[in-house]
Chains A and B, each alone.
Chain A
Amino acid sequence: MVPKKNFAIPTPSTENGYVIVYVMVFILVVQAAAMATVSIITFNMKSGNAFYGILKSKEINQGQALYTQSKHASPEGWDHSYFTTEILQKSFGGENQIFWRIALRKQPAKTIRDVNLAGHRPYLIVLIDDSESMNWSGGRDYKQDAVYLKKNTGEIIEVSEEIVLENELQTPAGTYFRGNYGNTHYIAPLAGYYNGTMPSWPIVHSYLQTLFEDLEMCDVSIATISQGVIQPFTRDRELLLETLASIHPTSSESALAERLFKLVDEFPLECITDKHILLLTDGAALNDGNLPGWIQDFDHDNDPMDKQLAGIGSKCLDDVAAYAATLGIQVHTAGPEKSYLHRVAENGEGMFMPEATIFVPQEPFVCQMPVISQNSRLNLVNKLARFDPGWLDMQNASFYAIDSSGQINSRAFFPIRGLATSHHVADNTLYCATSRDYLLAIDIPSKSLKWMLKGCGGKLFYTDNLLIAGPNSSGTIHVIKAGPQIAWNTKAGLIESTSSGVYTAAGNKITAFDPKFGSYLAEFSATHSITSLRYDPCTDFILAGTLSGIIYVLNPALDIEYVLATDQGQEVVDLHSFHWRKQLYILALTDTHITCTTPEGIAWSEGITNGSIIQAVVMDAKVHVTSRQEAHECPGIDTGKSELSIFDAITGQRLSSRTICEGNAFGPLIDLEQGLIEYINWSMDSCTEDISTLCGMKWLGLGTKILPPSSE
Chain B
Amino acid sequence: MNRGLSLIELMLALSIASVLIFSVYTFTSVSVQIYSDMRRDWYCMQSIRNSIVNLDRDLAQCAYLLPQDMKIALGQNQLFIAGLPVTTKHAGLCLQNKSVPPFYSIARAASSSNIVVDTVDIDQNGVPDFWANLGLISDNGPAVVSHNYSRGQTSIPLRSTSPFCTGDRVVPAIVYELKPGGLYRNSQLLAEAITSFEARIENDFLFIQIQAGYNGTQKEFCYPYAIN
Chain A residues within 8 Å of B, Cβ to Cβ: 2-3, 18, 21, 25, 28-29, 32, 35-36, 39-40, 43, 46-47, 50-51, 53-54, 57, 70, 72-76, 85, 87, 89, 98, 100, 581-582, 700-706, 708
Contact = CB atoms under 8 A, between A and B. Distances in A.
B38 A703 contact: no
Interface string B53-76: 100110011111110100000000
In the A-B complex, list the 4 residue pairs whose CB atoms are closest, starting with the nearest. Answer: A703-B64, A72-B100, A50-B49, A73-B100
Find the residue from B34, B52, B57, B64 having the highest chain A CB count within 10 A. Answer: B64
Contact of B100 (A74, A89, A700): A74
A57 B56 contact: yes
B102 interface: yes
B145 interface: no
The A interface is mostly helix, strand or loop, or mixed, namely mixed
B100 A57 contact: no
Contacts of B28: 32
Contacts of B100: 72-76, 85
Contacts of B97: 70, 72
Given A50-B53, A85-B100, A703 B61 contact: yes
Given A98-B65, A581-B169, A72 B99 contact: yes
A599 to B, nearest CB: 14
B53 A54 contact: yes
Contact of A704 (B2, B41, B60): B60
Contacts of A57: 56-57, 60
B53 A702 contact: no
Contacts of B20: 21, 25
A701 B17 CA distance: 73
Contacts of A76: 100
Contacts of A706: 57, 60-61
A703 B99 contact: no
A345 B67 CA distance: 75
Contacts of A54: 52-53, 56
Contacts of B66: 702-703
Nearest to A582: B106
Contacts of B86: 708
Interface in B81-108: 83, 86, 92-93, 95, 97-102, 106
A26 to B, nearest CB: 11
A36 B34 contact: yes
B101 to A, nearest CB: 5
B175 interface: no
B38 A39 contact: yes
Contacts of A89: 95
Contacts of B2: 3
Contact of A47 (B49, B63, B93): B49
A54 B59 CA distance: 11
B143 interface: no
Contacts of A29: 27
9 contacts: A25-B24, A40-B38, A43-B38, A47-B45, A76-B100, A85-B100, A87-B95, A581-B106, A702-B66
A29 B30 CA distance: 12
Nearest to B35: A39
Contacts of A25: 20, 23-24
B92 A702 contact: no
A404 B62 CA distance: 66
A703 B171 CA distance: 14
B83 to A, nearest CB: 8
Contacts of B98: 73
Nearest to B28: A32
A38 B78 CA distance: 38
Nearest to A54: B56
A32 B16 CA distance: 21
Contacts of A3: 2
A19 to B, nearest CB: 12
B31 A701 contact: no
A582 B45 CA distance: 46
B167 A35 contact: no
Contacts of B52: 50, 54
B205 interface: no
A54 B27 CA distance: 38
Contact of A87 (B93, B101, B106): B101
Nearest to A579: B100
A73 B45 CA distance: 48
Interface string B7-44: 00000010011001001100110010011001001100
B53 A53 contact: yes
Given A36-B35, A70-B97, 8 more contacts: A36-B34, A57-B60, A87-B95, A100-B101, A581-B167, A702-B63, A704-B60, A705-B61
B25 to A, nearest CB: 11
B198 interface: no
A47 B49 CA distance: 7
Contact of B102 (A73, A702, A705, A708): A702
Please indicate which of the listed interface residues B34, B41, B49, B106 has the most CB atoms of chain A within 10 Å of its own CB.
Answer: B49
A702 to B, nearest CB: 5
Contact of A43 (B42, B53, B93, B106): B42
Nearest to A583: B106
A525 B42 CA distance: 78
A700 B68 contact: yes
A72 B99 CA distance: 7
B60 A98 contact: no
Contacts of B42: 43, 46
A70 B96 CA distance: 10
A32 B65 contact: no
A701 B68 contact: yes
A35 B97 CA distance: 59
A379 to B, nearest CB: 35
B220 interface: no
A240 to B, nearest CB: 52
B69 to A, nearest CB: 10
A47 to B, nearest CB: 6
Contacts of A43: 38, 41-42, 45
A703 B62 contact: yes
A74 B99 CA distance: 10
B121 interface: no
A25 to B, nearest CB: 6
Nearest to B1: A2
Contacts of B31: 32, 35-36
Contacts of A70: 97
Contacts of A50: 49, 52-53
Nearest to B96: A72
A448 B41 CA distance: 79
A28 to B, nearest CB: 6
A98 B101 contact: yes
Contacts of A47: 45, 49
Nearest to B101: A702
B38 A702 contact: no
A3 B61 CA distance: 84
A91 to B, nearest CB: 12
A85 B31 CA distance: 64
B194 to A, nearest CB: 16
Contacts of A18: 13, 16
B169 to A, nearest CB: 7
Contacts of B38: 39-40, 43
Contacts of B57: 57, 706
Nearest to B46: A46
Nearest to A76: B100
Contacts of A702: 63-66, 68, 101-102
Nearest to B66: A703
Nearest to A538: B100
A175 B106 CA distance: 76
